[in-house]
Copies of this chain bind each other. A is one copy, B any other.
C-alpha cells in the first residue's frame, strides 16, 4: 500500500508546522509514495514533465490576461544533495522561457550592502512564471548560523522576517514549494568521491566541500531550526529524501504537479472580436 499514492504526496512529505524536527528520524533512502521501483518512477516523471509543461503554458497564458499567480520552487540541501540535478532534470522538462532560475552564491559586496532579502526580492518570478531558487534566503539562517556570519540576535530575527516575507508572497499570488533535499552523510561522501574520481565531474568539487562537511551536525541543527520555525500553512516545507536521485526527481515533479493542478490556470478568453479579426485576415489578397 505504501507505494500507492492514495494521499497527495505533499501530505506525505510536508513537515507539520509548529512541530519539532529531528532529521535523524528521516531515512534519506526512503521513497514515500513512489511507484514501484526506479524504472516506473522514471517513466512517471517523464509523463509528469509533459503535464507540467502544459500547465506551465496555461499559467503563462493566464498571466497575459491579468492573472497574477506564479510558483516559486525553493531548493535547499547540503552540497551534492541534488539542487542542480533537480533544475536539470525536473525544470529541464519545462519551457525555459517561463522559468526564472536563480542560483544564490555567497553574497556580493553590493548584496551585502542591503538587507538579506533584497537580492531575493529581485529574483522573484513575475506573474505566470515558475521561479526556481537553487539556495535562497534560507542560507542566511543556515551557513550564516553555522559560520557565524552575523550576530546571533540578528540571525534570530531573520526567521520572523522570512515568515513575514513569505506570507506577503503568498498573499500576492505566489505558490511556494519549499523542498529540503534530505541527504545522508554517507551518500554525500559517495557523491564527493565520485566527483573526485571523474574528470568530467571534478570541476564541481572544491576542497572547501570537505571543510563544510566537517560541520555536518551544525548544519543539520541549523536546518532543523529553519524547517521548524519557517513552516507555515501558506509556505510549508517538504522533506524530500534525496539519496536516490530518481526518487528526488519523481517527488519534486509530483509536488509541482499537485500544486499546479490545484491552481488550475486557464487559457484566457479572447478580449477582442475573433470573427472580425478572421475576416480582416481573409480579406487580404
Q: List residues of chain A with CB under 8 Å of any chain B CB.
A: 61, 64-65, 84, 87-88, 91-92, 94-97, 99, 101, 103, 134, 189, 192-193, 196-197, 199-200, 202-207, 210, 267-268, 270, 272-274, 277-278, 280-282, 284
On chain B, the residues within 8 Å of A270 by CB distance are 202, 205
- Which residue from B61, B207, B282 sits with its C-beta under 8 Å from A203? B61
Q: Is the CB of A203 within 8 A of B278?
A: no
- Expressed in whole angstroms, the minimum distance between the Cβ of A73 and any Cβ of chain B is 12
Cα A205 to Cα B273 with chains together (Å):
11
Q: Is the CB of A87 within 8 A of B92?
A: no
Q: Is the CB of B281 within 8 A of A189?
A: yes
Known: A65-B203, A200-B267. 15 other contacts (CB 8 A): A61-B204, A87-B96, A88-B95, A92-B92, A96-B96, A189-B281, A193-B278, A196-B274, A196-B281, A202-B268, A202-B274, A203-B268, A205-B272, A205-B277, A207-B273
Closest-by-CB residue of B relative to A214 is B284
Main secondary structure of the interface of A (DSSP, over half): helix
Cα A164 to Cα B10 with chains together (Å):
53
- Expressed in whole angstroms, the minimum distance between the Cβ of A91 and any Cβ of chain B is 5
On chain B, the residues within 8 Å of A197 by CB distance are 278
16 A-B pairs with CB atoms under 8 Å apart are A87-B97, A88-B97, A94-B96, A96-B96, A97-B134, A189-B281, A189-B284, A192-B281, A193-B278, A196-B278, A202-B267, A202-B268, A203-B267, A206-B272, A207-B272, A207-B277
On chain B, the residues within 8 Å of A84 by CB distance are 97
Closest-by-CB residue of B relative to A83 is B97
On chain B, the residues within 8 Å of A280 by CB distance are 210
Closest-by-CB residue of B relative to A102 is B97
Cα A268 to Cα B206 with chains together (Å):
13
- Of listed A84, A203, A277, residue having the most chain B CB within 10 A: A203
- Of listed A64, A84, A96, A202, residue having the most chain B CB within 10 A: A96
Cα A210 to Cα B272 with chains together (Å):
13
Closest-by-CB residue of B relative to A199 is B267
Cα A61 to Cα B195 with chains together (Å):
13
- Expressed in whole angstroms, the minimum distance between the Cβ of A87 and any Cβ of chain B is 5
On chain B, the residues within 8 Å of A205 by CB distance are 270, 272, 277
On chain B, the residues within 8 Å of A267 by CB distance are 199-200, 202-203
Q: Is the CB of A92 within 8 A of B88?
A: no
On chain B, the residues within 8 Å of A281 by CB distance are 189, 192-193, 196, 210
Closest-by-CB residue of B relative to A188 is B281
Closest-by-CB residue of B relative to A87 is B97
